[in-house]
Amino acid sequence: MPIEVKNDFDAKNLTTFKVSGLIKKAYFPKDITELSELLQTKNNPLVLGNCSNVLISSCGYDGDIIFTSKCNTINFDKNKVYAECGLKGPMASKLAYEHSLSGFEFMIGFPGSIGGEIYMNASAKDQAISDNLIYAKIFDNKNKKILELSKEDLDFSYRHSICQDNNYTVLCAEFELKEENQNVIKSQMDYNLDFRHNHQPSLALPNCGSIFKNPENNSAGRLLDSIGAKNLSVGGAKVWENHANFIINYNNATSEDILNLMLLMYNKVDEGYNIKLCPEMIYIGNKSQKEAKIWKALNGK
């Protein structure tokens, strides 16, 4: 069967931010064989997983986007775990718990997928996706070939992997987890969920997670709170009242609403502390002239 493709696809319901934007061509491979085939034949398509850390421009995207949600196989061999890029983090966490394996507890509250979490080296509560990774299969989009990279090769650091520098796409990965009593694992998972519920908005309030990265030895949320960010809003977007580093799409916000609000937050912290926050969210699409200018400013250019 041919690979599933949809033209002029509105990705609104696939993103946790729930911002409308038409994708010229959206592809939905059913496994990493089809994903690799697309990456081999298409000219630099974007690849997205659960779209939990992504803002798509309301102006849409005049190109190809591959959504990996169907590439979600996971296999267990004792304490070794093989997972494909589209597998959602909470599912990986639950299945590891069922196999009495520790190391994925932090993912129970993450809406992201394995590929995206490796790409950005996701972490929480003293655990990171890189901690137990043995290797990842990567598609090198420049040279059109598959690589097998070790944990060391992936050059992990805070919210960073080599994939961001070299135009690599994560296909799948193998992990080595630690055998542990299920009660211990469950206790950590419950703690992580409680923390998330108390400190981060649920996806019933459309958002994309943390807006800005934490500056070194500092907290973006604390800085934003101190300059009164919780009172800020632009159009249909507002800062969440319980944590200043989250933006809520509460009334059909456009991407421009969200970027304008981000710039307001960014400028107030810069004026108050001479600290330039760095966006954690990924922004893609056909940027309007104003959006392009704002995004450039937010990235210190």
Annotated active-site residue in 210, 255, 256, 291: 210
Annotated active-site residue in 34, 57, 105, 159: 159
Q: How far is CA 204 from the centre of its chain?
A: 17
Is 280 in the active site?
yes
Report the DSSP beta bridge partners of residue 114.
Answer: none
Is 157 in the active site?
no
Q: Calculate the dihedral angle through the C-alpha atoms of 255, 247, 274, 125, rounding to the nearest 10 degrees.
A: -130
Is 187 in the active site?
no
Strand ranges inside the chain, DSSP E = 4-10, 22-28, 46-48, 54-56, 61-67, 74-77, 80-84, 101-102, 123-124, 127-128, 133-140, 145-150, 168-176, 178-179, 233-234, 237-239, 247-249, 282-284
Amino acid in position 79: N
In 3D, which of 151, 150, 179, 174 has the Cα closest to residue 78? 179
Q: What distance in Å separates the CA atoms of residue 144 and residue 165, rounded to the nearest whole number?
A: 16
What is the torsional sign of CA 53, 88, 47, 21?
Answer: negative
62: helix, strand or coil: strand
* Helix intervals (H) in 63-131: 89-98, 114-120
Which residues form the catalytic set? 159, 210, 280
